[in-house]
Amino acid sequence: VGASSSLAASTSRRSLSNAAAVAFLDNRNRGASASNTAGRFLSRSAAAASTCTSSITALRQSTVVESELEKNLGVSHPAFDIISTDIVQEFGAYCTLYRHKESGAELLSVSTDDDNKCFGITFRTPPTDSTGVPHILEHSVLCGSRKYKTKDPFVQLLQGSLQTFLNAFTYPDRTCYVVASQNTKDFYNLINVYADAVFHPRATSDPMVHAQEGWHLELEKMEEPLTYKGVVYNEMKGVYSSPDSLMQRDAQQSIFPDNTYGVDSGGSPVEIPNLSFEQFAEFHQKFYHPGNSRIFFAGDDDVAKRLEIMDEYLKDFGPSPESKPASTIQWQKKTFDAPKKIRNPYPAGNDQPETHMIMVNWLVNDRPFTPVEEITVTILDHLLMGTSSSILYKTLMESGLGESITGGGLMSELMQGSFSVGLKGVKPEDVDKVEELIISTLQKVVDEGFTEDAIAASMNTIEFDMREFNTGSFPKGLSLMLGSMREWIYDRSPTDALRFEEPLAELKESISESGSKVFQDMVKEFLLENTHRSTLEMYPSKTLEEEVLQEEKDRLAKIKESMSEEELQKIIDTTVELKKLQAAEDAPEARATIPSLELSDLKREVTEYPIAVSENEAESGVTVVRHELGSTSGIAYANLAVDVSGIALEDVPLLPLFTRMMLETGAGEYDSVALSRRIGTHTGGVSASALIAGVNEDGGTEGTVSSGEHFVTKLLITGKATSDKTDELFSIFDLILRDANLDAKSKIIEILKQAKSQKESTVQGSGHATANSRIRSRYNVVGYINEKMSGLESLDTVKQLLNQAENDFPALLARLENIRNTILESSTCRDGMILDLTGDAAVFEKIQPSVENFLSKLPGDANAGKLQDFYSAPHPWVAQIKEEMAASAPVADEGFVVPTQVSYVGKGGRLYDIGEAVSGSSAVVSRFLGTGYMWDNIRVIGGAYGGFCQFNPRDGVFSFLSYRDPNLAGSIDVYDGAADALLASAADMENDPDALKTAIIGAVADMDGALSPDQKGTAQFKRWLTRESPEQRQKYRDEVLNTTPADFKAFAERLKALKDPSSAVVSSKAAFEDAAKAGKEFTLKNVM
């Protein structure tokens, strides 16, 4: 899970600060497709109404299942009082709320028909300053405890459990610890480790944990300068390097001057070193009493066992009547007599345009919303900001005043909601115009309201998500927990927070009586007439990065000057001691305390999903692939794949633009707004993307490294709808494929400006992904294509396309039209089409007439020619790509300069040659490296937020990566030492079968994640498309399960002889200069 958009700062193992943490789930889709967002549709603020989702049958269990679940209501235990029982019919959840008699802890037991069992414990942890104490504590409590004696039980669980979720996250006002597993034995193991960790952590008695995870002064030689180190410290330096994060932080603090939301729970790098160990330990004592906790269970596990396990931990504590009052969140009252204006700098590169960012922010409510108000404000948010055709979003983007939206609209996961919106890439002279446009657009909404079709589309979009309850591979139990916590953490009913039917019906009634008025009134009261707002302007500073670094150096120099030689020697001694502790192996008796599974607990067979292939179905020339599952709740999931191999290679980078235009510029008789509303009203969402997938060559040996010359290239249109709406869904597929409006100059410029801004933010905030894409582009044809389409090279492409759109639009339009004409070439297009469908038997029976009608009307001639066979002949792009790679993707060490306080360090190379067999044991070994050696040396010792490695058995390329790393040259040295460390581990494993077992279990966990119905269909479709056989999948799994120390040794020897190694690093100019002094030279390129 990663932090995204709104007010997010830090995910720590991963944590979120300065954000409603559910924002890390909120992949708000500004196109036409619905967003499967877990957090939003679980809270009442995510519910909406429609008239076309009644056929969704989600969470309607059989009578037998309901009867069994109902038995779990009110299960008793002598240590607990039952506060209430409740059935949340919306989610098939049978809930009992308990209070532990001795400690006062509250526990919500939710019984559902879900084998992906979830446990969470949440503490209300409001900070009073920006030292990051709740965030540092969240990292630290998982570093050993009373019962579990290793340095980092979290990592042991990560390495060797079947967890489907294992994490923790910090909100501005609470801290959550969550685990999930489909294996009951594993689930209980996870619960025990987490429960002991939060209540009895080593961290509160061992200052070294605070030093490692939070901050410490580091000095190795008396003549060297002092430095700050610490995982959270460096993580937050990365956060504070991002202009977007700085803006979100400043925006939140500007409207919450008087309560806990006005400080940074993640920690400011300037303030983190002010946190003492004593304050750190005191914070735990104050807020981590069970009386201040909310304990949550969900799934099909035994309720009595839940209570038994938790009583073992809770019975150690007596009552603490002061715990809850001490953590109460105070309301921020609306105290501004007039809106406030704030100007702050953000770090900019030397070549970066002198553009500003502006965002207008409101404190929405200073009292609890009613259930109907919560629904209404969320529908209003979607009407204003939910898609690229929503009025406020559309007006801002079409104004030409900026490059992309910032803010994102409503944030409602804290006690008080906020609403923020603005633009990035604004010229200084246009700053005031942005605020004026936002206000005038809201005034227009108040005056004119929303149309009936706009309301219907927004309400259906959100209600579809809510009723479908499709959380993907994310545990449904955690989604229920996050939804319930929005009320429960503020001492309100956890189950009321999950209900939506009654307030939904009330909102529908209100709309039927007065139409748009309910939304107009809300805009007027909570936004237009609300003076508690701020306008934040961020202006570029090309010296800010240097100033911040210099300020840190000066501060450290001053500290060193003030110290005696004895004090400095103590720091040197502590540095040595800490590194010795970090590098030390856990004692066997400590490792033995960590509960684990046995290999016999693992499933030995690969999970296969249903598939039936019908070639030339109904004489259409189109192949139809079906995945018939037990139940898809009345929903049909569809993918239409269209071959794009005929496109010229120079036009391939246009595919991301082309697929966005299919949904955002209108089609046929529909303008962009009408198309978006049609999609929203009748479907659960439609999206379009490019799919490039390597395939197994005919006659080749499966399980070997491919030449990279055989791959399929498809344009993929994806959608979902209830079975009675598939005619509409397929009609939309056909419409956007044939008739998308490509002659849309202003919209294309808008899309390209937005893409440029987003890609620049990605390089700066997710440099590890940038580095990895760059590395892989040097060794493999498919990797090179991906780099052209979505990597760093695509940023240059977007800039070139933007210039062409502005100065020679007819030429760009001709290229786009040629793409469409090529992929719809009547003589071959149907041969390259595949319709992939996932549903249950009833769905398939009902939609078959729609399928046949759709196939008959698709473009192209059913009896015409054939495309080449991509499984037997190289793809037509291959020859030209190889020429380009030789010229523009040489194996070299490249550095990409951006304004940042941290580094993202990548290094990789070819581990296996073309044609060599790759054993499934490689998955075990590479994962072992990432969760062991890399974790210990890059994160724990090095202080980076993340260190990991990736190996792709199809192309044989291996890469090391780091994330928010304070080091550059040192991390490359760590990578270079990995092979020797792995050889040592292989030797140790000869006498340590438990270590091998742990590594195997962790690799199996990666293979066996929980999947939603549509994900099961997609997984099996891609297996078929790439010609991967069930026999090969089973062989690979057997090799994983049968991994030996010899496999580790063989992998290490390959790593030691890594072929054609090269690096790609995203960092600052100063960091590259320091690396050069250490002998690490790079070819540098200024990105921003």
Residues tagged active-site: 138, 213
3-state secondary structure 436-503: HHHHHHHHHHHHHCCCHHHHHHHHHHHHHHHHHCCCCCCCHHHHHHHHHHHHHCCCCCCCHHHCCHHH
Rounded Cα distance between 758 and 31, Å, is 15
Q: Could you tell me which of 372, 451, 460 has the C-alpha nearest to residue 50?
A: 460
| Residue 546: both structure tokens together | 């240097």
How far apart CA 228 and CA 552 sit, in angstroms, is: 9
Q: Are 636 and 839 in contact (CB under 8 A)?
A: yes
Six-digit token pair at 951? 């190996």
- For the chain, the farthest-separated pair of C-alpha atoms sits apart, in whole angstroms, at 88
Cα–Cα distance for residue pair 207/211, rounded to 1 Å:
6
Structure-token pair, residue 638: 């569809």
Phi/psi at 957 (5° precision): -95, 135
Length of the chain: 1088
- Is 709:875 a contact under the CB 8 Å cutoff? yes
Residue 805 bridge partners (DSSP): none
Alpha-carbon separation of residue 768 from 66, 269, 584, 923 (angstroms): 47, 21, 28, 20
Q: How many CA atoms lie within 13 A of 488 on its CB side?
A: 27
Residue 719: beta bridge partners?
Answer: 638, 686
Distance CA 424, CA 796 (A): 19
Q: What's the one-letter identity of residue 626?
A: R
Of residues 1023, 965, 387, 403, the one with CA closest to residue 686: 387
856 SS3 class: helix
Backbone angles phi, psi at 149, to 5 degrees: -95, -5
- Give the number of other CB atoms < 10 A from CB of residue 167: 21
Tokens of 227: 């430095």
Distance, CA of 363 to chain centre: 26
Sign of the Cα pseudo-torsion (732, 738, 744, 747, in order) = positive
Decide: helix, strand or coil at residue 772: helix
Residue 17's alpha-carbon distances to 13, 138, 176, 845, 1063, in angstroms, are: 12, 11, 12, 48, 32
Contacts of 888 by beta carbon, 8 Å cutoff, 6+ apart: none
- Closest by alpha carbon to 1087, among 807, 805, 799? 799
CA distance 1075 to 1088: 20
Number of other residues whose CB lies within 10 A of the CB of residue 156? 23
Which backbone phi and psi does 655 adopt, to 5 degrees? -60, -40
The DSSP symbol for 115 reads S
CA of residue 115 relative to chain centroid, distance: 23
The DSSP letter of residue 223 is: T
- Give the SS3 label for residue 148: coil
How far lies 505's CA from each of 22, 49, 369, 512, 865, in Å? 25, 8, 17, 11, 54
Q: Integer distance in angstroms from the first to the last C-alpha of the chain?
A: 27
From the centroid of its chain, how far is CA 100? 35
* Cα–Cα dist 799/780, whole Å: 25
